[in-house]
Structure 1
Amino acid sequence: MSKSLKIGDLEVKIPVVQGGMGVGISLSGLAGNVSACGGLGVISTAQIGWREPDFYEKPFEANFRAIEKEIKKARELAKGGVLGVNIMVATQRYEEYVKSAVKAGIDIVISGAGLPIDLPKYVEGSKTKIAPIVSSLKSLTVICRMWERKYQTAPDLVVIEGPKAGGHLGFSREELETVTDEAYDDVIVSIIEKVKEYSEKFSKKIPVVVAGGIYERKDMEHVMKLGADGVQMGTRFVTTKECDADEAYKQSYIKAKKEDIKIVQSPVGMPGRAILNPFLEKVKTEKCKIKHCYQCIVTCDKKTIPYCITEALVNAAEGRVDEGLLFCGENAYRADKIETVAEIMEEFR
């Protein structure tokens, strides 16, 4: 039986964190059910308000409103379980996203796609825990040093996201093509050792979970042998009945073959992993007309981008899969059926 994951005074009965997947893939339906089954359910705030009537004109207001709505709905499903949000550091008005989630009473903010240097300031005075996502020892060290110097604090949880993860990745394209499993295991161990130093310094247990390529129980057992306290898993949860994505999105994973899963260059400047489809074939040679800016990522330059990532992700989430960007982890091709969150959590218990 797996040990529970303790994050300060929070206890996650099964040490599985469900990865935050935007736009509209992990909302209250998926996150609430993962929490109810003993895991840590995570809502992605990336363009979370795309279904709000004023999203086109006022994306920020729509998103902040939707954060509150989705957290409330997830709480109703979670049966007292632990809930988190994933907020990308690269999000425009990042601070306000964090404060919206804190105000709505979220248990933990998980943050990557950049270094969340001032995250401790944004949760000040609340019970909300904070967890950076890191891919290297260097990024963890920078964050921990800055948090110690500026805020006299350390993370409550650390998420190590490896090169097999889905969506935007914290690696160069060259690293993604050359890094081996064995070499990255060494990186995981080095990060865990550094986290232990900060655990001792701040007299608190800082658990570490590993993400990227986690698909079945043996993957969890492998990283726990390296010293991890649990895992974060996104791709496996996409093909569940409870996932918030459209059925066509889920079927794209089930139909995908191993050779369909590609490293792509996101228009916001980071490499990512996605399923090859007519949309990705089209944007290789053709620039899409940018009709509107949805104010998503700070690194986006609408004059030079080949397509609007918000539009591409919304299309995918709503089931227009041939016109959308289908982010996925390396193991998406292994999905062969729709299952339930409860069945997955039982496997990891």
Structure 2
Amino acid sequence: MSAISVTGGRPRTRSSSPSGGGASLERQRRRIFWPFVLPALSAYVLFFIAPALFGVVASFSEWRGAGTEMRFNGIANYVRLFRDPYFLSAFANTMLIAFVCGVVAFALAFSFSVVVREMRARVTIRSLLFIPYLISPIATGVAFGLLLAPQGMINTILRSIGLGTLAIDWLGPDNQFRTIMAVFVWLNLGFFIILLMSGIDRIPPYFYEEAELAGANAFQKFVHVTLPLSWDIVTIAVVLWLIGAIKVFDLIISFNGLAGVPAASSATLAIAQYVATVGGPVPAYQMGYGSAIGVFMVVLIGLLVVVVRRVMRRDALEF
């Protein structure tokens, strides 16, 4: 288009440039965009990025906390990791939670998801299964600590019904970590049931109808219909499980009481970091070494996520 203006009695056309108007609009958007984004971005950098970078720097130093000198010691803290029996035991326990508990949790979650999907009261049952996930892990650990104590309710009931041989010391050194693993699965099971059911519910019914016409049984329908068509949700669930398993801390610390320090047989990586920094009857305040454990955890999570994404990568299915 062109606009007409008159100068000295003679008409003259003036072109209106669409590109010029677009550039002006873009500048206006930027002027509006940055005032809204900068406060949140500044807070994120200040409270997340900066501490994370400082932790990486501290991991290469010998440092006992604020007010003390930070002395660079190279990779000494990382070398110490693989010579520390407490850390190695914590790493092994974390891998048990991540993989052994993961297999059990996903087997149970898929079983419940498939069974509940066929029930009429599935909304109510789904809500009941999700309730444990809403409970604070600290509260869960304290509650189970009371229930599973040597003279707690569980052992009292077992003795009263004549099953005293099953009344063992659930929280003793030989059984505590197995108890923690079972409670961790119970605590997180509801969330993964809901997550997997969200993937199963979106599968069109005619896939199952065609499988039934082909003579497929329940297991074959699960393998050839349910699992492939909900694979993207399964991948997300596995990633979330691994992240949660590697970070588990509050549930374990609550079993021992807030003033107690878990033994190496029931420690995890997060517990090892806590013990190295501020944990224990006499805090060690080994902030540099604790930072190295934290960096190791971040790298471990990143590697596991990359491996899982590559191993579980499949072509997208549209239906």
Given the two structures, how large is their TM-score scaled by the length of structure 1? 0.19
* More helix, by proportion: 2
Q: Which has the larger radius of gyration?
A: 2
Please give the TM-score of this superposition, normalised by the length of structure 2: 0.20
Q: RCO higher in 1 or 2 (8 Å CA, sep ≥ 6)?
A: 2
